[in-house]
Amino acid sequence: MTWMHLWLPSILMLVLLFLQTPITWSMAIAALSFFLLNMDTMPVANFAQEMAAGTESVSLLALPLFVLAGCIMNASGITRRLMNVAEVLVGHMTGALAQMCTVLGTLLGGLTASANADAAMLAKTIGNQMAQRGYSRAFAAVITSSAAIITALIPPSIGLIIYGFLSETSIGRLFAAGVVPGLLLAVGLMLTTHVVARRRGYTAQRATRASAGEISKAVIDGLWALSIPVVIFAGTRYGLFTTTESGAIVVLYVLLVAVLGYREIRMRDLPGVLAESARDASAVMMMICAASAFGFYLTWEQVPQSMSSWLAGATSDPLTMLLLINVTLILLGTAIEGSAALIILTPMLLPIIDHSQIDKVHFGIVMITNLTIAGITPPVGGLMYISSQVLRVRMGEYAREVLPYLAMMMLLLVLLSAFPGITLWLPDLIYGGVAVQ
């Protein structure tokens, strides 16, 4: 019976994932099986209580608010203006459409907070244009999904909010810490794209560089959108509002810009926007609820403590520990979708991080960077599926095209792990030693 209590829920979850059951239901059913097995010592009603406990955090209020802000932006002409900015900045480069995709993904990363939404939008717009202009469809799927993962690092990021909630880490510092790694990822994508595009003869979008006047006009046209990250950092840095409250401020800000500034959204469009944001936010919140119940099972059976003891016995060096955790996360990321892995593994790894005296902000960025790679990695990469479905690409074709991008991301991951200053420089500059929730 003890063996069943310990392993059956985990085995059940893995079987359900293998049968392509959605991750939320896989975790919830596995957690419920644990409570059913322990009916003699705890009421089954505790399952519902643990599900609800997953939402009992003020920090999580920021999640649906930023999702709503992103939905308003998508409906208000933001994407078109940011695409114009990307075109004037990199339209003269080799493989211009692919480079525009990365720049646009970087600009959207600080606005939509949803990598899935970015992947779908990029694939439908730039991805289809690339296919029509002679780019390989598989290459288009790879670059659109890869550009979308920048959203996981550039604030406001849902992944950073969830990690901050689970680890009780300052979300403000996490937002600041993600900026430099996010920009480094964008540069890495552009350099890799340049090499691939030059070898294949993918041409520029325009014959000459954009003039200073063209660049200024495009930037001014998109200035309202580009100013949103500045509003978040300035407000939290000078105490005007907390990072959680910034979600409400951003919703109000983008609504005013959409209605009074760009004037491309009408009041009758808002019910549809609200419905879309409710669906997107509720999907993430349900996953958090299921993970909370599953996490109770892991804690009850002392799985985190066992993992912590095993890893702590393997090495006492913080860098070696971090690299060992990275290898573990990469292996798990090939089998578990990134968001689910973040929710499941964060509570398990925190004792190890505390024991090794690794900064939780630094570890959060390393972990999220690691797990975003899972988004474009076969066989379960969610972003891979979105872009491949839109562009009608088979997994085998995608897998061949993604290899140089995966190599670049692994190199970036090692650099972020080995040099904490890359991650911690900006939050220390903005917030100093003060944690802001």
Q: Percentage of the chain with pLDDT > 70?
A: 84
Is 157 a domain residue? yes
Residues 245-249 have a mean pLDDT of: 78
Least confident of 5-19, 138-152, 407-421: 5-19
Give the pLDDT confidence score for residue 265 in this predicted structure.
Answer: 76
In 3D space, the residue among 70, 118, 120, 123 whose CA is nearest the CA of residue 97 turns out to be 123
Residues 57-61 have a mean pLDDT of: 68
Is 332 a domain residue? yes
In this prediction the pTM is: 0.73
d(C-alpha 335, C-alpha 333), whole Å = 5
Give the max Cα distance, the chain. 75
Is 386 a domain residue? yes
Is the pLDDT at 1 greater than 50? The verdict is: no
Mean pLDDT for all residues in the chain: 80
Is 178 a domain residue? yes
Is the pLDDT at 436 greater than 50? The verdict is: no
Instruction: Give the list of residues 6+ apart from residue 230 with CB closer than 8 angstroms, or none.
Output: none
Q: Which among 169-178, 250-259, 294-303 has the top mean pLDDT? A: 169-178
d(C-alpha 206, C-alpha 77), whole Å = 23
- pLDDT tens per residue across span 347-366: 888 888 888 888 999 999 99
* The total number of structural domains that make up the chain: 1
Give the pLDDT confidence score for residue 318 in this predicted structure.
Answer: 82
d(C-alpha 414, C-alpha 324), whole Å = 11
Q: Which among 30-34, 200-204, 332-336 has the top mean pLDDT? A: 30-34
Residues 222-251 have a mean pLDDT of: 74
Is the pLDDT at 122 greater than 80? The verdict is: no
Q: Which among 12-16, 185-189, 430-434 has the top mean pLDDT? A: 185-189
Least confident of 28-42, 66-80, 141-155, 370-384: 66-80
d(C-alpha 180, C-alpha 118), whole Å = 20
d(C-alpha 183, C-alpha 185), whole Å = 5
Residues 38-42 have a mean pLDDT of: 81
Give the pLDDT confidence score for residue 364 in this predicted structure.
Answer: 93
Does residue 116 or residue 375 have the better pLDDT?
375
3-state class (DSSP) for residue 393: coil
Is the pLDDT at 188 greater than 90? The verdict is: yes
CA triplet 143, 369, 280: central angle to 5 degrees?
75
Give CA separation, 327 vs 150, 324, 411, 413, in Å: 21, 5, 13, 11
Is the pLDDT at 437 greater than 50? The verdict is: no
Give CA separation, 243 vs 82, 140, 234, 292, 327, in Å: 25, 35, 11, 23, 32
Neighbouring CB atoms inside 10 A of 397's CB total 16
Is the pLDDT at 273 greater than 50? The verdict is: yes
Is 238 a domain residue? yes
For 406, the domain range is 55-265+302-431
Give the pLDDT confidence score for residue 213 in this predicted structure.
Answer: 84
Give the pLDDT confidence score for residue 433 in this predicted structure.
Answer: 62
Give the pLDDT confidence score for residue 396 in this predicted structure.
Answer: 82
Contact 267, 229 (CB under 8 A): no
Is 117 a domain residue? yes
Tokens representing 297?
Answer: 């099972």
d(C-alpha 360, C-alpha 22), whole Å = 30
Is 217 a domain residue? yes
H or E stretch covering 166: helix 158-167
Residues 254-282 have a mean pLDDT of: 79
Give the pLDDT confidence score for residue 15 in this predicted structure.
Answer: 85
Is 277 a domain residue? no
d(C-alpha 148, C-alpha 136), whole Å = 18
Give the pLDDT confidence score for residue 362 in this predicted structure.
Answer: 94
Residues 321-344 have a mean pLDDT of: 76
Is the pLDDT at 220 greater than 90? The verdict is: no
Give the pLDDT confidence score for residue 360 in this predicted structure.
Answer: 93
Is the pLDDT at 214 greater than 50? The verdict is: yes
Give the pLDDT confidence score for residue 131 in this predicted structure.
Answer: 85
Q: Classify residue 392 by burial, with Cβ atoms within 10 Å: 0-12, 13-18, 19+.
A: exposed
Residue 419 φ then ψ, to 5°: -125, 85
